[in-house]
Amino acid sequence: MVENSGPWYLKLHWQVLIALVLGAVVGSILPGFSMKIGFLGDLFLRLLKMIIIPLIFASLVNGITSLGDAKKVGRIGLRTFVYYTLTTALAITVGLTMVNIIQPGVGLEIGVNAELPEEFVTASHSFDQFLLRLVPDNVIGAMAQGEVLPVIFFAILFGLFLTTLNDGRGKAVQEVIDGFLEVIQRMTLAIIKLAPIGIFALLAREVARSGLDIIVALGPYFLTVGAGLGFHAFVTLPLLLIILGRRSPLIYARRVLPALATAFSTASSSATLPLSMQRAEHEAGLPKGVVSFVLPLGATVNMDGTALYEAVAALTIAQMYGVSLDLPAQILVLFTALLASVGAAGIPMAGLVMLVVVLQAVGLPLEGIATIIAVDRVLDMARTATNVWSDLVGTAVISRFEGSTS
Ligand code: ASP
Q: Answer whether residue 113 shows pLDDT above 50.
A: no
The radius of gyration computed from the CA coordinates of the chain, to the nearest angstrom, equals: 21
Using CA atoms in the order 362, 368, 370, 376, what is the torsion angle rounded to 10 degrees? -70
pLDDT band at 301 (very low <50, low <70, confident <90, very high): confident
Cα of 70 vs centre of ligand 1, distance in Å, is 31
Residue with CA at minimum distance from ligand 1 atom 8: 351
- Residue 176 CA to ligand 1 center (angstroms) comes to 33
Which atom of ligand 1 is the closest one to the Cα of 347? 4
DSSP letters spanning 108-171: PPP-SSPPPPHHHHH----HHHHHHHHS-S-HHHHHHTT-HHHHHHHHHHHHHHHHT--SHHHH
Q: What is the 3-state secondary structure (H, E, C) of 360-389?
A: HHCCCCCCHHHHHHHHHHHHHHHHHHHHHH
pLDDT value for 228 = 96
- Helix or strand or coil: residue 193? coil
Ligand 1 centroid distance, CA of 172 (Å): 37
Secondary structure element (H or E) that encloses residue 16, with its range:
helix 12-29
The per-residue pLDDT for range 124-155, each reduced to its tens digit, is: 556 677 778 789 999 999 999 888 788 889 99
* DSSP helix/strand/coil, 84: helix
Quote the ligand 1 centre to 311 CA distance (angstroms): 14
Pocket of ligand 1 (CB under 6 A): 267-269, 303, 306, 344, 346-351, 380, 383-384, 387
Residue of 314, 328, 327, 316 lying closest to 363 (CA atoms): 314
Provide the phi-psi class of 285: left if phi over 0, else alpha when psi is between -120 and 50, else beta. left
Domains and CATH numbers, the chain: 8-401 (1.10.3860.10)
pLDDT of residue 324: 84
Strands (E), 219-319: none
What is the pLDDT at residue 1? 42
Q: pLDDT at position 254, please?
A: 93
How many Å lie between the centroid of ligand 1 and the Cα of residue 346?
5
Minimal CA–CA distance to 295: which of 190, 158, 185? Answer: 185
Mean pLDDT of 58-78: 84
**Going by C-beta distance under 8 Å and a sequence separation of 6 or more, which residues neighbour residue 323?**
364
